[in-house]
Amino acid sequence: VAGVANGTANPWYARFATSESSTVLADAASLNPSFFSLWIGNNDILGYATSGGSGVDQTGNLDPSSYGGNDITDPNVFAAAYSAQVDALVAGGAKGVLLNIPDVTSIPYFTTVPAQSIPLDAATAGAVNAQFALYNGALGQLVAAGFISAEEAALRQVNFNEGINYPIMTDVDLTDVTAILIGGGIDPQTAALLGQLRQVKSDDLVVLTASSALGSVPDPSNPLGIVGVSIPLTNQFVLTSTEQDRVATAGAAYNAIIEGLAAANELGYGDMKSALADVAANGAVYNGGLLTSTYVTGGAFSLDGVHPTPRGYAFTANTIIDVINTTYNASIPKVDIGTYGTVTLHNN
């Protein structure tokens, strides 16, 4: 309990820990379980994803004490920690089910806000394009000077049209040309906005929290300072395709480790990645309805867009029961998904 205030102890676990020095794993193992389920590892990539890739991909860094909260865990570090948990849980002869890690595109946090989200009429689009003409022209000069490639220059071109447009954003994986622009006579504030600027692309994922930022005017005294049009979305609001690749690569490595440990220890293996991907793509039929990953109305996920509702957890429970029944020749009955709560709409 003493560690809760300074962030060194889990406040929920501290309420029921058997001692001041115990750990979650030690307390679980001390119960000498005959059966267990283990679904862990999501947060080794989720913080990076939900923060729009604001953390660091620590692949290759074997010192987890140097990691930040939004970093991607090195697969070897993950393997060591996960193996230790499995070893502790099976030490007394217990059997169980290991569950893998879903893909981020299965949850509404990443699929609710469309990449194209800026409506403009023809006159406004033309006026905005006129403001970016100097920037677009400078990209060619940066290529000629060898600061960026022609491919990057093409990616960085900003162009708005009449209709629904992609917002502008800051991409931290682009070359930072802020200092070069300042040297070319652009004022520092504008140069900072343009330093790693591009428009969102169709394969980027705009996160749920961007819905409150897009189209907003941070400074009321400057009505032309509109986020997504003249002010770029910051890194935290977009998981780019490059950042998605980092998440997917780490997730695939983690899942291979989990599946390998399940086979080595003759445990059940629950493919939650496939199960939740199917919910997102096709929905899951249950007695009384269809469970989908659509934000608010789909029934599977809570309003944070990440965690399942009770109804969503009932679906995951049934998925685990299927694995148990298949692996251990059991006959555990499934739960009735429709009897569990979900997000509901009310007129107040």
Q: Digits of tens for pLDDT over the chain (348 positions)?
A: 888 998 888 899 999 999 988 999 999 999 999 999 999 999 999 999 999 999 999 999 999 999 999 999 999 999 999 999 999 999 999 999 999 999 988 999 999 999 999 999 999 999 999 999 989 999 999 999 999 999 999 999 999 999 999 999 999 999 999 999 898 888 898 899 999 999 999 999 999 999 999 999 999 999 889 999 999 999 999 999 999 999 999 999 999 999 999 999 999 999 999 999 999 999 999 988 999 999 999 999 999 999 999 999 999 999 999 999 999 999 999 999 999 999 988 776
pLDDT of residue 348: 66
Q: Which residue in the block uniquely carries the two structure tokens 């685990």? A: 320
Question: Rounded to 5 degrees, what are φ and ψ at 14?
Answer: -60, -25
Contact 183, 137 (CB under 8 A): no
pTM of the model: 0.92
Neighbours of 162 (CB within 10 A): 13
pLDDT of residue 93: 95
